Structure 1
């Protein structure tokens, strides 16, 4: 068994760092854990890599980070001396081993003659994106696993435009990483320390100045009586958010002090994920204590944000789609009021994001473009239209709580989003309205859009096979109805084709290939199947539309119950 051979190779490696040696001893009698740690190399995909922390080829550790960075260095050297001189910006969040993995990446680059700008304290992912652009660096790396559990970490790669690496370049980097050789035996020469430039607070103010351009109505900050509670959930965004809200002048911001310090153990939360109710436990306590109007939680690397709004009883959490709709409504309404909506303005959303955003943009005479799931595809479109001038970026978002208002960063930016959300709430409070009342008006105007998400976790070798089997079966067995509603068409993004049940000719889909299938139903509902790119999960996304909350809720439940039952017959280990 190859995984056993690899375990023995690592276990017998005399120079193995003690922390990983101890980890191997800990799992020595657990055959399943040994197999999972060594049955494959941790996949370096189009967004980088993410996995459980530990010893092994299928874990993130000093050696797999070194291998990934060696491959990246090979790619950079192939781009020439100028690329090496422009270098790579490296940032990290509050997770376990994030500083160590960041230093390992910097040392590996410097060993290969490549300049590395290394943040010395936790910084957000969007600030990394901004820093790549500000320093005119050739690439960027951020060490983060977003909102995954504490035993995960990751390694994300950015291009010179500050966006996650595009598919074409990512494929070349992947080849270099795969060719880097055995992770244990990569030559790590003494790095040229002069090539490692430490970043402390040098770029913080430049990022702050850029953030201020997000404001549509600067005067609201100092005049508003809006009360806000903020938590970074032990992540990297706390200091940055506190500074920007202080600088622009908001006076009634309350911080969840128990969660302000970066801490990769996330000791006060079940999960550092602002999509989940449990992440707001402390924020709700502070909100009740201070009679706050709005609660805001940001994930560990500062790119996703969730909000809860004071309701008649307690606080109501908004979904990512609902927060996106509020931001679009506020931003476009303000541009319209000032006569500043560009004729070629465009909003971007992903294929699993609510269509409510689309109808709001159409109401303001703005077009919307769908991209594949993943903010890298929004970043790619920003760059494309920046060059062609065909469209002007106005806003980009995805249902998983990621938003971008200004493109000085090219990834979702929770700090920008916090500033915009607080301003929107302050504006509507001056109008005598809450965020919930604005949302109700949007539903009344455009229809009651409701979305849902189901995730099924399938770990290990058998789990990978089960997920692949499900997608294979969906392509073999055509689904004609879901919950008694006819399927009108199916979009298969892996094969780039749209097929129809009424016999119409198949159409081509002009999006990058991705292992995703989406069904469109006769009543306007849709269902999408997509394997997670960062976790061992298969995800089912749903969208429905009706004239009332009750009807939409009933529709959504029926779709979820029937479709998940259909999928269970295929999801076999």
Structure 2
């Protein structure tokens, strides 16, 4: 029997209304039906929110294309079946569930816990909001089959997400995501028992892991603190913002564990608030625009260093007051250089007799190559992975299986993994590392800016410019990248230079098609993904430029870094070169005017 589009839409809407238990959501859909808003109904019901980058993330609201109770129940039912069929002894190993302070996060967590308990599976669910890294940490600590974190991290207030960790403590990667999606589609009809969240706290299968995890996590911070006396006696005043998220209580504990005096808190952003009333975007990666209140608070309290977490506390931003009185907000790449240096220093102080050739640091392919430059000189190993901590975490697991010591990993999007207790980005432990590094450097009369300058003098200037353009037309995005792949009218003929031949391209790696002209067989060694656009160009003067699409937002991102040799220290000249090249890449490759791209708001 063949369906018309209208019949399929009606059937899907009726199915959703029949299965849905949320009266408010049902009223929204019935109103759209009443006013005959077919376009909105098609958008909500004909395309389903799919399991992708470590799970689901999307706008909250009714329908199959948004995050709501029914979609969460269907996701939980599919995930349970997949785990039962894939991992041995799931019922005893259990799962750990955390949630942030967004609208519906606790509700989504409780619906998920209900489904696992109904299937006889032990559930460790936090009794209050927690940082995302506490789920990754908890998976390993309790040897769970999986972890689930309900969060949309730094996304706008209307969004929420469902992030899944595998039994190795790492965000899921392919093929798990695709297989989970298949199981979800096979288990769409909600069981009546899936809605009764009242069973959770009466069940013998429910456990609250909070106290145990708090103790273990902060014991680790205490054990990894190098200079507790220096920390306690430092004259540096730190200002901290939780960005209306979960971080305040946990950062308070972390500072105490590392023997610091209490920080100055940005009171207006201290407590969780799902409306994020004081920031346009609750994302410290946006720089000064997201740190206005932090800067005001710091200046009022004569504080010289700002530490900022995003709402689920897995990212860290840092700003320092310069001698001139204005503020420098470190980029993720600059913080990566600083924390990388600190983690190497810490390892060598703690383990002076250990072989440095067994030590590894990692970064994503769009992040600074500074760790690679450090590795060449210092003798440790550097590994590059695809973008995202799921790939770095997976690589860490593989390295540790072979007896390697992984001491640091980072991505330019202010994500840092300090040590290997949490195999994901962790804004709490990273903040403590930055604070202790600052206190240690202060005893030598150095600031974080001074140390960064020393690093660049020793290993070479690594100057970056990263940004993005909005594009809501997927076909237009595809055509931009296809033009670059067929630059001379046939496949694999990419641009060979910019600025009229002034800067030659010597390397092209396309992780959408798998092409890499630097390999003898022209095949890329990193995994490829045909569903994501990503091309990297390497120039003869050391510039590396990557153009890629975002997995969660309608953006075309570009990442550029001029990796200069240590002999080239003229920052003004290097910046001029970088600016000239970036402008040419944007105009020649992305052609924003021709493609009607929308500029990032300044």
Which category describes the TM-score, using the shorter chain as reference length? over 0.9
1:124 maps to 131
Residue 263 (str. 1) matches residue 273 (str. 2):
yes
**Residues 75 and 184 of structure 2 are in contact (CA less than 8 Å); yes or no, is this contact kept in structure 1?**
yes
Residue 434 (str. 1) matches residue 454 (str. 2):
no
1:387 maps to 401
1:335 maps to 347
**Residues 144 and 156 of structure 1 are in contact (CA less than 8 Å); yes or no, is this contact kept in structure 2?**
yes
Q: Secondary structure at the match of 1:348?
A: strand
**Residues 92 and 142 of structure 1 are in contact (CA less than 8 Å); yes or no, is this contact kept in structure 2?**
yes
Q: Deviations over 1:433-479 (max 9, x none)?
A: 111111122222233212122222333xxx23333333333333322
Structure of greater relative contact order (alpha carbons < 8 Å, 6+ residues apart): 1
Residue 286 (str. 1) matches residue 302 (str. 2):
no
**Of 528, 549, 552, which residue of structure 1 is paired with 2:574?**
552
**Residues 46 and 174 of structure 1 are in contact (CA less than 8 Å); yes or no, is this contact kept in structure 2?**
no
Residue 316 (str. 1) matches residue 328 (str. 2):
yes
- Mean alpha-carbon deviation: is it higher for 534-543 or for 138-147? 534-543
Distance, in Å, in 1 between the alignment partners of 2:478 and 2:45 is 20
237 and 166 in structure 1: CA distance in 2 versus 1, 3 angstrom threshold: same
Distance, in Å, in 2 between the alignment partners of 1:10 and 1:473 is 43
Residue 174 (str. 1) matches residue 172 (str. 2):
no
Distance, in Å, in 1 between the alignment partners of 2:218 and 2:11 is 48
**Of 391, 408, 411, which residue of structure 1 is paired with 2:424?**
411
**Residues 226 and 426 of structure 1 are in contact (CA less than 8 Å); yes or no, is this contact kept in structure 2?**
yes
Q: Secondary structure at the match of 2:291?
A: helix
**Residues 16 and 63 of structure 2 are in contact (CA less than 8 Å); yes or no, is this contact kept in structure 1?**
no
Residue 468 (str. 1) matches residue 491 (str. 2):
no
2:26 maps to 21
Spell out the pairing of 1:155-304 with structure 2 (5 A cutoff): 155-181=162-188, 185-189=189-193, 193=200, 194=203, 195-251=205-261, 253-276=263-286, 277-304=288-315
Distance, in Å, in 1 between the alignment partners of 2:165 and 2:425 is 13
Q: Deviations over 1:488-530 (max 9, x none)?
A: 1111223333115xxx844333222233211111111111122
**Residues 108 and 188 of structure 1 are in contact (CA less than 8 Å); yes or no, is this contact kept in structure 2?**
no
**Residues 46 and 171 of structure 1 are in contact (CA less than 8 Å); yes or no, is this contact kept in structure 2?**
no
Residue 443 (str. 1) matches residue 461 (str. 2):
no
Residue 482 (str. 1) matches residue 498 (str. 2):
yes
2:82 maps to 75
Cα distance, 1:107 vs structure 2: 1.4
Distance, in Å, in 2 between the alignment partners of 1:168 and 1:346 is 26
2:539 maps to 521
Q: Deviations over 1:166-197 (max 9, x none)?
A: 3233332232223333xxx3224256642333
**Residues 73 and 109 of structure 1 are in contact (CA less than 8 Å); yes or no, is this contact kept in structure 2?**
yes
Q: Deviations over 1:61-115 (max 9, x none)?
A: 1111112111111111113661122111110111121111111111122233322
2:600 maps to none
**Residues 490 and 517 of structure 1 are in contact (CA less than 8 Å); yes or no, is this contact kept in structure 2?**
yes
Distance, in Å, in 1 between the alignment partners of 2:53 and 2:16 is 30
1:510 maps to 525
**Residues 232 and 300 of structure 1 are in contact (CA less than 8 Å); yes or no, is this contact kept in structure 2?**
yes
**Of 5, 8, 28, which residue of structure 1 is paired with 2:10?**
5
2:490 maps to none
Identify unmatched segments of 5+ residues in structure 1: none
Q: Deviations over 1:366-419 (max 9, x none)?
A: 121100001011111111111112x32111111110111121111111111011
250 and 15 in structure 1: CA distance in 2 versus 1, 3 angstrom threshold: closer
Q: Secondary structure at the match of 1:36?
A: helix
Query: What is the RMSD of the two structures over their aligned residues, measured on CA atoms?
Result: 2.4
**Residues 214 and 405 of structure 1 are in contact (CA less than 8 Å); yes or no, is this contact kept in structure 2?**
no
